[in-house]
Amino acid sequence: MTIADTSQRPRFFARGNVYLPHIVVIEKVIEETPGVRTFHFNFKDERLREEFAFQSGQFAEYSIFGVGEAPFCISSSPTRRDHMEFALQRVGKVTNALHRLGVGAEIGFRGPYGNSFPLDFLAGKNLVFIGGGIGLAPLRSLIWNVIDNREKYERIDIIYGARSPADLCFKYDLETWGKDSSVNMVTTVDRGDKDWTGKVGFVPAITEQVAPSAKNAVAIVCGPPVMIRFTFPVLAKLGFTPEQMITTLEKRMKCGIGKCGRCNIGNLYVCRDGPVFSYAQIKSFISSEY
């Protein structure tokens, strides 16, 4: 596994007809929870395996030919590039079809789209990652990116929650981060079970308990909209300014490149101007558009 500094990687822009997907091949399927799977994949085209570059936070449109396309973030880190990963919950037509795929299946991939987490801005800061459910997928790309360049960042807090212990995604990562002495990991569930020894409570409430300091810090929040909506006020109470709160948003996204019109929040398109936003950018629209 190669570990590289991603800021050095050239940006990859699709040439020609951007709607034409590349073919990628599924290399591994991981059952994260009963409804969530992670897929490891790679380009069929050898040259693309070499050339393709992306940044943490970017997403792509994945498609099953004959079923349709759906957007998911790239959940692996660009610092670890022998393959790429995306994770998804089985909820709709495309995700159900994707869940039926096994190793060797070919799917369409176009991207990477959107902006990415602002690594330069994050460098030298205390980072507070706050995730809920499958919202850990985009954070995970950044967390590994940061851990692989650990000396560039200060304190790392990770607060992650899910509905129940069975709903926790990326348990293998949670375990690794839990053991990493340079990371302060807090895991919580809304409802525990008899074996659960961690915290119990909603992510915003646990965030208030953990009370990360806002000093020289940036909070990166990702999860279901309701979690995001309730976490921002908690952070504000802790002294985080809107510029110190970053999130990545999800919308129905069809084109992925700011054309089809459906993913806007105000005059910003989540696909084109996001998916990574500071709270300062979206606060005038967020309560009613997200």
Count CA atoms closer than 13 A to 289's CA, side-chain side. 18
Interstrand relation of 268-269 and 276-278 (parallel, antiparallel or unpaired): unpaired
Does the footprint of ligand FES cover residue 290 (CB under 6 A)? no
- Binding partner selected for residue 201 from ligand FES, another protein, none, CB under the kind-specific 5 to 8 Å limit: none
- Binding partner selected for residue 219 from ligand FES, another protein, none, CB under the kind-specific 5 to 8 Å limit: none
Q: Phi/psi at 130 (nearest 5 deg)?
A: -125, 115
Using CB under 8 A, which of the segments 20-28, 135-143, 212-220, 230-238 binds another protein?
Answer: 20-28
Does the footprint of another protein cover residue 261 (CB under 8 A)? yes
Exposure string (b/e) for 195-209, b if CB count within 10 Å is 16 or more?
Answer: eeebbebbbbbbbbe
Nearest distance in Å: CB 92, ligand FES: 16
Binding residues for ligand FES restricted to 242-271, rule: CB under 6 A: 253-256, 258-263, 269, 271
Whether the CB-CB separation of 253 and 270 falls below 8 Å is answered with yes
- Report CA Rg, the chain: 18
Altogether, the residues listed in the chain come to a count of 290
Residue 212 gets which letter from DSSP?
-
Whether the CB-CB separation of 101 and 127 falls below 8 Å is answered with no
Does the footprint of another protein cover residue 53 (CB under 8 A)? no
Does the footprint of ligand FES cover residue 283 (CB under 6 A)? no
Q: Name the residue nearer to another protein (CB basis): 24 or 146.
A: 24
Binding residues for another protein restricted to 219-258, rule: CB under 8 A: 224-225, 250-252, 254-255, 257-258
What span, in angstroms and rounded, lies between the C-alpha atoms of 161 and 134?
10
Q: Name the residue nearer to ligand FES (CB basis): 91 or 260.
A: 260
Nearest distance in Å: CB 259, ligand FES: 6
The binder of another protein chosen from 95, 149, 187, 207 (CB under 8 A) = 95
What span, in angstroms and rounded, lies between the C-alpha atoms of 95 and 268?
26
Does the footprint of ligand FES cover residue 68 (CB under 6 A)? no
Nearest distance in Å: CB 78, another protein: 20
Strands (E), the chain: 22-33, 36-43, 59-64, 68-73, 84-89, 106-113, 126-132, 156-162, 184-189, 199-200, 217-222, 245-248, 264-265, 268-269, 276-278
Beta-ladder partners of 24: 43, 107
Residue 239 gets which letter from DSSP?
T
Nearest distance in Å: CB 128, another protein: 25
Beta-ladder partners of 222: 131
Does the footprint of another protein cover residue 264 (CB under 8 A)? yes
The binder of another protein chosen from 5, 11, 31, 44 (CB under 8 A) = 44
- Binding partner selected for residue 271 from another protein, ligand FES, none, CB under the kind-specific 5 to 8 Å limit: ligand FES
The binding site for ligand FES (CB under 6 A) comprises 253-256, 258-263, 269, 271
The binding site for another protein (CB under 8 A) comprises 13-14, 16-21, 23, 44, 63, 65-69, 91-92, 95, 106, 108, 224-225, 250-252, 254-255, 257-264, 266-267, 272, 284-285, 287-290
